Structure 1
Amino acid sequence: MLVLLPPSEGKADGLRGRPLAWGSLALPELDEARARVVDELVELCAGDPVKAREVLGLSEGQSAEVARNAALRTAPTAPAGAVYTGVLYDALGLATLSPAAKRRAGKALLVFSGLWGVLRINDRIPAYRCSGGVRLPGIGPLAGHWKGPLGEALPEVAGSGPVLDLRSAAYAALWRPSGELAARTLTVRVLQERLVGGVPKRSVVSHFNKATKGRLVRDLLEAGPLPRRADRVADALRELGYRVEADDAAPGRLDVVVSEV
């Protein structure tokens, strides 16, 4: 089973590891495409910080993010799972997983990134700011840049098991499963159900969508071997106590219904 995650806009501070070592990241066949984005981003941020903020969608108060990008080649690193912060990663709690669950996470989790394409959680990276929806001056939209390299690399990574796609729209655009692989790819929508005037009403949650997905992945990793077939994923989540419904109008989508967020 492969689990596709978004990154987080927030990154940890105070990293102390050695600088990025090219060739050390998972899927080294992506290194050429990675280097193009790194070179473009460093040049932009080191040369014109004002334009860099505009391109990256940052405010003047986020100028430190531009300086951070300018120093990417020499910046300290840490495992990606420790660099990414935010709601989903807080709920996932990679650092507190059991040893067996950590081993499963290292094999099953794949984090999408506008800068790196995809990463394993143990890949050592510096902190950076470059979302998947960015359009760099010399490259264009990052979704277009990554479409080809990821399209070649990821079907083999996915193997023959199910794919649980928990990415947000900006990162889903970097690569979309197709053909037989699409048929065993599942997405998750989190719905909150509340009683309004005695009548159950459902709404799509936003902020807490990430927390639910993080807890869901954590519980799967801790439960034991991950499902090997797409038709077992919903059952595995139900066994963990989640209320899961298939949506006949959207094949491949699972609705996780929560009453508290």
Structure 2
Amino acid sequence: MIVLLPPSETKRDGGDGPPLRLEALTSPELGPLRKALVDELIALSADRPAARRALGISASQDGEIDRNAALLTAPTMPAIERYTGVLYDALDVASLRGAAASRARARLAVSSALFGLLRADDAVPAYRLSAGSKLPGGATLAARWRPVLEPVLARLAGAELVVDLRSGSYAALGRLPGAVDVDVVAEHADGRRTIVSHFNKAHKGRLARVLASSRSEPNDASAVAALARRAGMRVERKGNELIVVVPV
């Protein structure tokens, strides 16, 4: 089983790994587009106003541009440790030990606007590029990634069950037919249900932790739902879609 996570805008600084080696990342067939995007971000960093527009940031966030300028020289750390924020706080990989930690690192993958697809231990620097960023040149990141990323995702899904926790903008980078999709809804006292926005990341992080660290190896949506329920989560299944129901 693979648990496919969205990335986060926020990322840890630093690291103790060597500078980025694109050829060492998993899915080497993504290498040409990875290199093109890295080169474009470095070049764009020389023009701060243009970089701010492309990345959707303000002058107070110019440190993000500096990160991009240093993509080839900055230290790296495993991808699963680089990303931070609500989902990754709930996942809390650092607190896992022994076999649970090993299983999590083998099962977790991250969707990335810069690298396409990363496995947990792929070593990457801090960077700024989101799925909605608009780099000079016209084509969207989704249009550039889809032709090369979808075959990689298809092979992944053909070999293992994939639980897709990506947000819509990252799912648009590469479709993943056959994956187990997950939504989070809040149930009100009167039975009404509404979409959970910000806190859906926390619930998805909790689910990711359960799935990534479990000794069980679910092979379909029903087994994934059963595993989540054993962990105390309320989960409904509609075909290959799971709905996590949380109280308001």
TM-score (norm. length: structure 1): 0.90
The one of 207, 210, 218 equivalent to 1:216 is 207
1:234 Cα deviation from its structure 2 partner = 1.5
Q: 1:1-261 counterparts in 2 under 5 A?
A: 1-46=1-46, 48-138=47-137, 140-177=139-176, 182=177, 184-195=178-189, 199-247=190-238, 251-259=239-247
Q: Secondary structure at the match of 2:232?
A: coil
For structure 1, the 5+ residue unaligned runs are none
Q: Secondary structure at the match of 2:24?
A: coil
CA RMSD of aligned residues (A): 1.6
Q: Secondary structure at the match of 2:51?
A: helix
Deviation string, structure 1 residues 141-184 (Cα, Å, up to 9, x no partner): 1111111111222222223432211101110000002xxxx2x3
For 1:157 and 1:139, how far apart are their aligned partners in 2?
30
Deviation string, structure 1 residues 198-243 (Cα, Å, up to 9, x no partner): x233221111100011111111223313302333221221222211
> Are the equivalent residues in 2 in contact too, given 1:163–1:230 (CA < 8 A)?
no
TM-score (norm. length: structure 2): 0.94
> Are the equivalent residues in 2 in contact too, given 1:98–1:222 (CA < 8 A)?
no
Q: Secondary structure at the match of 1:152?
A: helix
For 2:170 and 2:107, how far apart are their aligned partners in 1?
18
How many residue pairs were aligned? 248
1:105 Cα deviation from its structure 2 partner = 2.1
- 1:109 maps to a residue whose letter is L
For 1:25 and 1:233, how far apart are their aligned partners in 2?
28
> Are the equivalent residues in 2 in contact too, given 1:161–1:230 (CA < 8 A)?
no
- 1:43 maps to a residue whose letter is A
1:246 Cα deviation from its structure 2 partner = 2.3
1:82 Cα deviation from its structure 2 partner = 1.0
Deviation string, structure 1 residues 64-118 (Cα, Å, up to 9, x no partner): 1111111111111111111100000011011111222222222222201110011
1:139 Cα deviation from its structure 2 partner = 6.3
- 1:33 maps to a residue whose letter is L
For structure 2, the 5+ residue unaligned runs are none
Q: Secondary structure at the match of 1:140?
A: coil
Report the more deviating stretch, 54-63 or 129-138: 129-138
- 1:185 maps to a residue whose letter is A
Deviation string, structure 1 residues 125-151 (Cα, Å, up to 9, x no partner): 000000011221136211111111112
